[in-house]
Structure 1
Amino acid sequence: MKNIKFNILNLGLACCLLSACGVKNGSNVSTISGLSEAAFDTTINQKAVKLYTLNNKNGMEVCITNFGGRIVSLVVPDKNGKQTDVVLGYDNIAQYADSVNSPSDFGAAIGRYANRINKGKLQIAGKNIQLPTNNYGHCLHGGPSGWQYQVYDAKQPNDSTLELTMLSKDGDNNFPGNVTATVSYVLRSNNSLDITYTATTDKETVINMTNHSYFNLNGDPTKDIENCILYINADNYTPSDSTYMTTGEIAKVDNTPMDFRKPTAIGKDVNNFKFDQIKNANGFDHNWCLNTYKDGKGDDTKVAASLYSPLTGIMLEVYTNEPGIQVYTGNFLNGKINGKKGIAYNKRAACCLETQKYPDTPNKKGWPTANLKPGEKYYSHCIFKFSIK
């Protein structure tokens, strides 16, 4: 999900930029993907920021910064055994931290509320709450200083696990409740990245977390993802209006470009602007209602969605206990942002697969709830499993 309009820079990033720019092109390269750990070693808001590396015996590597809990690189072998980075991002902390000149959600652990809340309005425990609005009059991804622009506390107990903790105070972007949230990244021996989100609160609130990685399974961001084959295990989706807000309808995918129940090339209909939903979003930027979620429970043993590149042979399967998945096809990437290795990210350079509650769930009666009360525990699970087809 993109086209974000940030209007404040209140995270003390000036210090970050000064400390990071000196190592932006540092020679301390220690990762398979070519990242320099020194380029991520800094302090933001008096909290240490670093680059953490996970690896397994198969040559898979995942690099994550605790700034925003972002996956910076994700390396998997392609059909020829070549180690291939399949996510977009930056190769230095300065760009990640600069929400004015290089705004992005690349790889972030989003919170408190992934996706949009209509006009930023909530009613919780009988109280009306006004959240900040930062996208077409709506609150997107927790507001202009959502968790993607905050620092998680990090612990790395072993070379395949990273545990991140966010202590979000009552009133953070006007959300109620002191919230303790955790994100656990575990790299498995079967080439899956297992992500678990948990949260508790001392006051009723809403929680909806996700990972916002931009996948390019071609392994080359100069090649768009229209050739990639997408499968979504969903009979229905939630239409949205011209401001990207869900209308409240749950619509059938039958006989529409939204039907990915059979693996289909993204390019088949992503530019079919005769279909209003695609025209409104400039491509795909929609939530699908997963068939793997029934009777208030999600089955994270069944494939919710998959993405495949015929070019590299890399297959990504997504598993989740969540009711929905937002698929975004890089519609607003425009070549003005240069990512890793200085590559300009153009339109359709990536596809996002965001497991989550439906957008604006708190304001849609009957949709799976995002409310969290004291004494309850929020739990969300997502697996990105990689293989060669």
Structure 2
Amino acid sequence: MTRKPNPAPATRLAILAIAAAFALPSSAAAPKGEPFGTADGKTVEIFTLTNRKGMKLRAMTYGAIVQSLETPDRDGKTADVVLGYKTLEEYIKDTPYFGAVVGRVGNRIANGKFTLDGKTYTLALNNDPGGIKCSLHGGLKGFDKVVWQGEGIEKDGVQGVKFHYVSKDGEEGYPGTLDLTVTYWLTDDNEWKIDYSATTDKATPVNVTQHSYFNLKGEGNGDILDHELTFKAAKFTPVDAGLIPTGKLQDVKGTPLDFTTPHKVGERVNADNEQLKFGGGYDHNWVLDNQGGKLALAATIHEPTTGRTMEILTTEPGLQFYCGNFLDGKLTGKSGKPYNYRNALVFETQHYPDSPNQPSFPSIILKPGKTMKSTTVYRFSLKGGKP
């Protein structure tokens, strides 16, 4: 057999240079935090994650807030699809939980009270839908208003940021010291993946969730009424006038809350329906068909003018959908445009609201020696095109 001679050193260098020019970018480095202001006397850092397909996610240590999420449309034009502000000061001054992790218990707890192991715990009353007071999203200073520890990470070329926070026993009225880690990843499959992990030294309720406001047309680009939704949920948890679940599970069939087949948000949001009147529109928890704790598709959201499509996968049993009913134009976003009525959608993967007071709901009580783990994925693609 005749062997071909090896290329000369100069030729080999030329070949390597050509190969490098056409290769995909090398594995991403762990992102580094950059100063973004000061809160509670602590420096707040912001981390920028990127992938190979043009997506970019920026998240800060204040509230583990996702400040921006940029993704291309069908024409290759990139837009930021989450609501938020340019500066930390604006988040501190006034925000309806834009992009934040909320908890220790996300969503509502009736009358700000629950009983655990024979003891009644009293929480701050910081929300009053329908004039009926309750505790919402962890209290007056929930996880959205504290400074977390942040660390940029990388695994197999995928960039991430790990946020860590220790909530002390008695904080906002909750029992037990909760050690919580929330990790964001931005994959080359155009997935924003969220991993939650928590432990405690005393039994305590835990229902942590992400509270980003989405507009797939781009933040500040008008209402979301033409967004088309499909939910993998045949039931929802009906609420009373204070938006507290009644404890029942109701079939969505025959109601404006039926998204088992695709419907636009604006198609039935103003229907003559008691549940929609209570919420001022959609502000309800859907009972996902998947109740086994495995990662599974929960919802698909499509925006027709840009082609952007977002799939939500989660291990959680519920999905709270809110369509910006309380946005009123008083808040101005990072693009300089006001955020008006129904200019955004919120999809909180979670256990059901008021779970500590609802024995028939899946339990959110975390006990010592156990670890709470949960995963949610927001996957972006283009309808009729590749992601």
Fold in common (TM above 0.5) = yes
Q: What does residue 278 of structure 2 align with?
A: 280
Q: What does residue 138 of structure 1 align with?
A: 134
1:151 is matched with which residue: 147, 163, 175? 147
| Structure 1 position 306, deviation (Å) | 1.2
Q: What does residue 81 of structure 1 align with?
A: 76
In structure 2, the residue corresponding to 1:160 is in which secondary structure?
strand
Distance in 2 between the 1:47 and 1:56 partners? 30
| Structure 1 position 38, deviation (Å) | 11
Q: What does residue 162 of structure 1 align with?
A: 161
| Structure 1 position 366, deviation (Å) | 1.8
1:122 is matched with which residue: 90, 114, 123? 114
**Structure number with larger C-alpha Rg:** 2
Contact 1:304-1:320 within 8 A present in 2 as well: yes
2:334 is matched with which residue: 326, 337, 340? 340
Contact 1:232-1:306 within 8 A present in 2 as well: yes
Contact 2:82-2:219 within 8 A present in 1 as well: no
| Structure 1 position 223, deviation (Å) | 1.5
Deviations 1:172-212 (A, max 9, x none): 10101011100000111100011011110001101001110
Q: Does 1:257 align with 2:291?
A: no
| Structure 1 position 50, deviation (Å) | 1.5
Contact 1:222-1:346 within 8 A present in 2 as well: no
- Unaligned 5+ runs, structure 1: 1-36
The one-letter amino acid of 1:320's match is T
Greater Cα offset, 72-81 or 240-249:
240-249
Contact 2:35-2:43 within 8 A present in 1 as well: no
Aligned length: 345
Deviations 1:305-327 (A, max 9, x none): 11110011000000001010000
Q: Does 1:289 align with 2:297?
A: no
Contact 1:209-1:380 within 8 A present in 2 as well: no
| Structure 1 position 258, deviation (Å) | 0.5
Alignment of 1:48-63 (within 5 A): 48-63=43-58
In structure 1, the residue corresponding to 2:335 is in which secondary structure?
helix
Distance in 2 between the 1:384 and 1:68 partners? 19
The one-letter amino acid of 2:276's match is I
Distance in 1 between the 2:249 and 2:311 partners? 24
| Structure 1 position 220, deviation (Å) | 4.5
Contact 2:36-2:45 within 8 A present in 1 as well: yes
Q: What does residue 28 of structure 1 align with?
A: none
Q: What does residue 4 of structure 1 align with?
A: none
Alignment of 1:75-224 (within 5 A): 75-98=70-93, 102-136=94-128, 137-158=133-154, 160-224=159-223
Deviations 1:193-250 (A, max 9, x none): 1101111000110100111010000114231000000111101000111111111111
Contact 1:222-1:344 within 8 A present in 2 as well: no
Distance in 1 between the 2:88 and 2:218 partners? 22
Q: What does residue 234 of structure 1 align with?
A: 233
Distance in 2 between the 1:51 and 1:260 partners? 36
Q: What does residue 353 of structure 2 align with?
A: 359
Distance in 2 between the 1:122 and 1:54 partners? 39
Distance in 2 between the 1:254 and 1:141 partners? 29
Distance in 2 between the 1:321 and 1:380 partners? 6
In structure 1, the residue corresponding to 2:276 is in which secondary structure?
helix
The one-letter amino acid of 1:206's match is P
Distance in 2 between the 1:129 and 1:103 partners? 27
The one-letter amino acid of 2:382's match is I
The one-letter amino acid of 1:171's match is G
Distance in 1 between the 2:90 and 2:96 partners? 9
In structure 2, the residue corresponding to 1:342 is in which secondary structure?
coil
| Structure 1 position 375, deviation (Å) | 0.3
1:303 is matched with which residue: 282, 290, 297? 297
Distance in 2 between the 1:381 and 1:250 partners? 24
Distance in 2 between the 1:65 and 1:278 partners? 34
In structure 1, the residue corresponding to 2:234 is in which secondary structure?
strand
Distance in 1 between the 2:231 and 2:104 partners? 25
Distance in 2 between the 1:106 and 1:231 partners? 23
Contact 2:220-2:335 within 8 A present in 1 as well: no
The one-letter amino acid of 1:387's match is S
Contact 2:101-2:210 within 8 A present in 1 as well: yes
Distance in 2 between the 1:208 and 1:38 partners? 27
The one-letter amino acid of 1:152's match is W
In structure 2, the residue corresponding to 1:303 is in which secondary structure?
strand
The one-letter amino acid of 2:255's match is T
| Structure 1 position 161, deviation (Å) | 0.6
Deviations 1:7-41 (A, max 9, x none): xxxxxxxxxxxxxxxxxxxxxxxxxxxxxx99962
- Two-structure CA RMSD over aligned residues (Å): 1.4
Distance in 1 between the 2:70 and 2:293 partners? 28
Distance in 2 between the 1:40 and 1:142 partners? 27
Contact 1:51-1:64 within 8 A present in 2 as well: yes
In structure 2, the residue corresponding to 1:94 is in which secondary structure?
helix
Alignment of 1:11-22 (within 5 A): none
Percent same amino acid at aligned positions? 41
Q: What does residue 21 of structure 1 align with?
A: none
The one-letter amino acid of 1:146's match is G
1:67 is matched with which residue: 62, 71, 88? 62
